[in-house]
Structure 1
């Protein structure tokens, strides 16, 4: 019974890793090529190949756990390092402060 619970946990873990790598691959696919160069990161084809391999490794039913972990690390690096740099370069980041309204900053009635 404990072994079956552990297998269920691993199944959910593999699913979460697969969804995370698919998200990273999709995000990398929809970013502009020139944003990668402007952010001084690796090229778009490089990230598409790495993240695509990570997705494929997750879809293979053979238990290549070390390759899954390597793909997960690549996806984490993309999401934590490359994605914010691309968003900053392409203007996808949040602008203004939290007190900005639809017509500009709110100054408290001054």
Structure 2
């Protein structure tokens, strides 16, 4: 019975670490599939910059492990992935979506209605 309770997947911090690693991987893959010119058009840092930051964040977590409580590298990488997902990704997605700027069916001269 003690061996069952000692498994890593029963530890909630292990699940948080897996979720953080998955989130960083998703951000890295998303940054890799976006076009280079969309980054410049959205007035954001270059694609190479984001790939380097997100790749380093993901790679360091794979190398040293995800430690949310004590590792500065894990937290810094998580902040970088969050910044990419809430700032850079929506700006690029809006520029590269079909129609050249998103859904404009309900757009008036001064914005949505």
Q: TM-score normalised to the size of structure 1? A: 0.76
Return the offset for 1:20: 0.2
C-alpha distance 15-38 of structure 1, shift in aligned 2 (>3 A): same
Moved over 4 A (4+): none
Separation (CA, whole Å) in 1 of partners of 2:23 and 2:47? 18
Gaps of 5+ in 1: 99-110
CA RMSD, 1 decimal: 2.4
Return the offset for 1:96: 4.3
Contact 1:25 1:51 in 2 (8 A): yes
Residue 35 (structure 1) aligned with residue 38 (structure 2): yes
Return the offset for 1:61: 3.6
Gaps of 5+ in 2: 1-5, 107-113
Separation (CA, whole Å) in 1 of partners of 2:76 and 2:93? 24
